[in-house]
Amino acid sequence: MKMYLVLFWIFAKIGAFTLGGGYAMLPLIEREIVDNKKWIDRPEFLDLVAIAQSAPGILAVNMAIFVGYKIKGTLGSVVATLGAVLPSFIIILLIALCFRGYKDNPVVARVFKGIRPAVVALIAVPVVNMGRTVCKRPAAWLIPAVVALGVWKVGVSPVGIVLAAGLIGWLWGRKK
């Protein structure tokens, strides 16, 4: 029972006090799991990171699942995942409850209006960095640019774009 509490506490601390998402959490998870607790050695940790990146879902949650499973099996993965997710869930819930009383306040509205460009930048920077890695040819930038313009200017549904891209990819694969 104590091991489950330790596992929960490690991921809860990391989940509560790390800003920046899963990649910002990786060094903290590594320090706790590899260096402090010595539950996993560094090469195995790097393998877990590679698997977590390849699996669908949030990197930090995937890492919690894999580390928890490695340490204490299925229940360990559930406990570690709850530790990683609950702090953010509780913080967002409290903000939402408190925000209800202030949502019509003009100062709060201006603050959120000011935050929007920062959020756009936080999303745009990783997209551009990944694009540089993936799109080596200038022609490879054409599809994302057309899609972005379609969503932004024409009002095309992103869901429709994802479904159309999946269909086109499936047809392309069948043709080859």
pLDDT digits (tens, 9 = 90+) for 107-159: 888 887 888 887 777 667 766 766 776 677 777 778 778 888 888 898 888 88
| Chain-centre distance for alpha carbon 83 | 16
* Segment 2-27 mean pLDDT: 86
**Across 12-26, 41-55, 69-83, 134-148, which has the greatest mean pLDDT?**
69-83
Q: Report the distance separating Cα 52 and Cα 87, nearest Å.
A: 21
Q: Could you tell me the pTM of the whole model?
A: 0.60
Whole-number percent of the chain with pLDDT over 70 = 93
At residue 57, the pLDDT reads 85
User: In degrees rounded to 5, what are phi and psi of residue 35?
Assistant: -80, -50
Among 99, 93, 41, which Cα is nearest to 70's?
41
Q: Which DSSP letter does residue 31 get? A: I
At residue 77, the pLDDT reads 95
